[in-house]
Chains A and B, each alone.
Chain A
């Protein structure tokens, strides 16, 4: 990954407290896994930034390398990689996700 792409990713994840790399956009999600993360974030009434990787092949590949995680969606909170849908749902059902967001508010 070149420096420019890395900066682009860092700008994105720091542009919003909660940032989601996903397939599609929140109102028109193109993948079941992305849709489940959107659902969790919406249930919590959270505002978040997002990037549609289907429209940016460079980000689509680079984000996997950046977070050392081979799949999309990927959720970031406070610039830190949290996980994909399985982990986000796990954290949501255990209440840890809610804590994670509130504590650092």
Chain B
């Protein structure tokens, strides 16, 4: 049986309760972080997470097509602009697949830094997101 590549492996221990995201917007996928409450309020939806009480320790893989795995262009733009005060950031999704993003970061603070250092600065801001929530990012950095 083929398990989707995006499926998350979780270890569930008996005696605990686990809550799995169903709205897709949790920041802690596969687990619920109560974001659905906000989503329900905003959109009038009625998302409810899935609760699990394992009777014995179990390892399993879970996935839902509702999960919003990848950051949007706006989210990437916000992350960088907030971290680099006064920067101008443009993020596009040329293939329109939500996965291959392209970012242009214009920031005076790059002055005196090599291209390598400039890119490292942006990568550091995106941090862990680069592992799972950004599939591919073409990056261009400039002073102005």
Kindly supply a per-residue 1/0 record for chain B positions 122-142, scoring 1 wherever the CB is within 8 Å of any chain A CB and 0 otherwise: 010010001100001111100
Kindly supply a per-residue 1/0 record for chain B positions 20-49, scoring 1 wherever the CB is within 8 Å of any chain A CB and 0 otherwise: 000000000000000000000000000000
- Of B100, B119, B131, B140, the residue contacting A84 (CB under 8 A) is B119
Q: Please count the residue pairs between chain A and chain B whose beta carbons lie under 8 angstroms apart in the complex.
A: 29
A: residues with CB less than 8 A from B are: 32-33, 68-71, 81-87, 90
Given A32-B136, A33-B136, A71-B130: A83 in contact with B116 (beta carbons within 8 A):
yes
Contact (Cβ within 8 A) B130 A70: yes
Given A32-B136, A70-B130, A71-B130: A90 in contact with B115 (beta carbons within 8 A):
yes
Contact (Cβ within 8 A) A83 B136: no
Point out the residues of chain B lying under 8 angstroms from A33, CB to CB. Answer: 136, 138
Contact (Cβ within 8 A) A87 B116: yes
Q: Interface residues of B, CB < 8 Å — how many?
A: 14
Consensus secondary structure, chain A interface = mixed
In Å, the complex CA distance between A85 and B123 comes to 14
In Å, the complex CA distance between A70 and B123 comes to 7
Interface residues of B in 94-144 (CB under 8 A from A): 100, 115-116, 119-120, 123, 126, 130-131, 136-140
Expressed in whole angstroms, the minimum distance between the Cβ of A34 and any Cβ of chain B is 11
Point out the residues of chain A lying under 8 angstroms from B131, CB to CB. Answer: 70
Contact (Cβ within 8 A) A69 B140: no
